[in-house]
Amino acid sequence: MSSGVDRSILFVLLGAAGGLARRLVVPALFELHRGGALPEHFRILAVDRGDMDARALAERLREGHARFGRSGAQAEAQWQGFAQDLAYHRIDIAEPDAYRALHALLEEMEQPLPGPVQSRPA
């Protein structure tokens, strides 16, 4: 059943390479993903000052989930599906133009995804 409402979510994770994200936030989001509790179009924009790319960050977060998450390393196949919707944006918090760039990226990513929104089974 589709209500015609865009049910996509863009979750912005500030400090994405930090310990809180690695030990608590991302493992909790991943468990919600595994349980089907997140919308079909759930994307994460990871924002941090670290010099890395989305792949390197995803690996760091995967290792954190394997160590601190409830399902540990046994959910590796599901992790790949979760991590495919992870984007990374490096920001220098001391640079005012960095916030304008982040704003532009958020506006771009908030555009509705193509295709009909499907509701997940309850």
Tell me: pLDDT of 121 over 50: no
* Residue 75 covered by a domain: yes
Decide if 3 is inside a domain.
no
DSSP state of 46: E
Q: Residues 2-54: pLDDT tens digits? A: 444 557 889 999 999 999 999 999 999 999 999 999 988 899 999 999 999 99
Q: Is the pLDDT of residue 88 over 90?
A: yes
CATH number of the structural domain spanning residue 29: 3.40.50.720
| Per-residue pLDDT band at 76 (split at 50, 70, 90) | confident
Domain boundaries, position 44? 9-109
105 burial type by CB count under 10 A (0-12 exposed, 13-18 middle, 19+ buried): middle
The rounded percent of the chain whose pLDDT value lies above 70 is 84
Q: Check residues 112 and 4 and name the one with the higher pLDDT.
A: 112
Does any domain span residue 73? yes
Residue 95 lies in a domain: yes
Give how many domains the chain has, as a whole number.
Answer: 1
Residue 120 in domain: no
Question: Is 116 inside any structural domain?
Answer: no
Domain membership of residue 84 (yes or no) is yes
